[in-house]
């Protein structure tokens, strides 16, 4: 999405990440509306940021969501960005009977609320030239924290939910008579069709296709037609197999990235081998620990000082070029520490 010139609704905008996002986007010349239950917090943020608007919203209440959606689409017809940020995190114990109030409240706020809010605004957003829905999730959706099992599960569910509207939104955008290239409509040929006036969208349903941009060359189209292109039957190529190969390649890359990160952690924290720095750290490595400077030299200088440190690797998760490792440190501080280290890997180097 572009970072200026938007009209943005941020739920949970009265504090924390929501307030941080609201103020940062407000400074970039966006029209920001913050929403939440605590009106005193909302007023405080709006007062500190002249021009920012606010609206009371109970994300647990479907009626409140519907009313706010109706109000905002009427008052802000250019609303084109929704940030589902509102959420709650409570300590729980799933080794015994879960507290029903905690369970319902967490699921309703963290999962059902964003789904309902998106649903209430989706038709309005689809009418905008450019629109974006952003969902705040958490690394705990990949590496759960046992003492907040319900919260962690809602973030895993939000990650899964976020993947679906992105495909569906593209499919619905393609249903228009003409589709602007700015909407990113790239129809997917999942199977060969003998009718050049139709194409297979990700839903596998046939629809007439009139596009303002050429069909993908990887679908092997040629010559003019009512669609602007015609399928070449002499060179059939299923994009499904191409997509599957791409997915397999991504999985291989993620496994390779995991191996790189594990070599980094074992070499630095277990084997105390400073040569891992030259082998696996990029020259422009950015350190996520605020007390350690950026760059590989800082890591090389740190390794010899870790004589009393014990490190145990737990769960390892990869997503794209990111690798997250759940590990246990003993000796880093006065008490044992459980931490999630996140690495970005490119070309076999940690960045």
What are 238-260's pLDDT values in tens digits?
A: 444 555 555 566 666 888 898 99
Does 226 share its domain with 261? no
CA-closest candidate to residue 87, choices 63, 108, 118, 62: 108
Q: Is the pLDDT of residue 335 over 80?
A: yes
Residue 141: predicted pLDDT: 86
Same domain, 336 and 273: yes
pLDDT at residue number 199:
35
75 pLDDT higher than 80: yes
Pairing of strands 81-84, 53-56: unpaired
Give the lowest-confidence range in 141-145, 172-176, 271-275: 172-176
Q: What is the pLDDT of residues 32-62, one digit of tens each?
A: 999 999 999 999 999 999 999 999 999 999 9
Q: Are residues 246 and 199 in the same domain?
A: no
- pLDDT of residue 196 exceeding 60, the answer is no
142 in the same domain as 18: yes
Give the whole-angstrom CA distance, residue 344 versus residue 288: 11
Look up the CATH number of the domain holding residue 97: 3.40.50.720
Is 147 in the same domain as 56?
A: yes
Indicate which CATH number applies to the domain containing 330. 3.10.450.50
Range of the structural domain that residue 213 is part of: 183-237
One domain for residues 202 and 256: no
- Residue 207 scores a pLDDT above 60: no
For residues 166 and 47, state if they share a domain: yes
For this structure, is 151 an active site residue? yes
From the list 157, 3, 27, 193, the residue with the least C-alpha distance to 84 is 157
Among 151, 280, 285, 329, the one annotated catalytic: 151
> Do 262 and 329 belong to one domain?
yes
Considering its fold, how many domains does the chain have in total?
3
Q: Residue 98 above 50 pLDDT?
A: yes
CB atoms within 10 A of CB 335: 7
CA distances from 132 to 155, 163, 175, 184 (A): 19, 13, 18, 12
Are residues 24 and 160 both part of a single domain?
yes
pLDDT at 222 > cutoff 70: no
Is the same domain home to 286 and 331? yes
* Mean per-residue pLDDT of the chain: 78
Band (pLDDT 50/70/90 cuts) for residue 218 is very low
Q: Which of 149-153, 171-175, 321-325 has the highest mean pLDDT?
A: 149-153
Banded model confidence at residue 220, pLDDT cuts 50, 70, 90: very low
pTM (two decimals) = 0.57
Q: Are residues 13 and 162 in the same domain?
A: yes
> Tens digit of pLDDT for each residue in 4-18?
999 999 999 999 999
Dump pLDDT digits (tens) for 139-165. Answer: 888 888 888 999 999 999 998 898 876
């Amino acid at each position: 999405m572009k970072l200026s010139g938007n009209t943005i609704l941020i739920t949970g905008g009265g504090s924390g990440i929501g307030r941080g996002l609201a103020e940062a986007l407000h400074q970039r010349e966006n029209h920001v509306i913050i929403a939440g239950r605590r009106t005193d917090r909302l007023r405080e943020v709006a007062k500190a940021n002249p021009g920012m608007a606010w609206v009371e919203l109970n994300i647990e209440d479907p009626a409140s969501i519907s009313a706010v959606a109706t109000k905002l689409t009427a008052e802000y017809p250019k609303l084109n960005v929704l940030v589902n940020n509102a959420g709650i995190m409570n300590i729980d114990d799933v080794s015994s009977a879960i507290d029903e109030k905690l369970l319902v409240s967490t699921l309703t706020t963290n999962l059902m609320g964003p789904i309902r809010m998106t649903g209430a605004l989706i038709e309005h957003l689809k009418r905008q030239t450019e629109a974006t829905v952003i969902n705040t999730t958490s690394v705990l959706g990949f590496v759960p924290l046992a003492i907040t099992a319900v919260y962690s599960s809602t973030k895993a569910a939000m990650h899964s939910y976020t993947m679906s509207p992105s495909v569906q939104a593209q499919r619905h955008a393609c249903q228009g008579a003409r589709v602007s290239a700015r909407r990113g409509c790239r129809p997917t040929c999942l199977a060969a069709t003998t009718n050049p006036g139709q194409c297979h969208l990700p839903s596998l349903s046939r629809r007439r296709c009139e596009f303002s941009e050429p069909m993908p060359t990887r679908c092997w189209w040629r010559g003019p037609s009512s669609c602007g292109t015609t399928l070449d039957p002499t060179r059939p190529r299923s994009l499904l197999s191409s997509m599957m190969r791409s997915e397999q390649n991504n999985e291989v890359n993620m496994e390779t990235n995991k191996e790189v990160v594990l070599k980094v952690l074992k070499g630095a924290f277990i084997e105390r081998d400073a040569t891992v720095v030259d082998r696996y750290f990029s020259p422009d490595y950015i350190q996520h620990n605020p007390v350690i400077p950026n760059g590989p030299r800082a890591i090389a200088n740190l390794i010899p000082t870790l004589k009393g440190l014990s490190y145990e690797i737990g769960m390892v998760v990869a997503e794209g070029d990111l690798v997250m490792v759940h590990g246990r440190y003993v000796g880093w501080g006065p008490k044992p520490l459980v931490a999630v280290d996140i690495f970005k890997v490119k070309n076999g180097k940690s960045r």
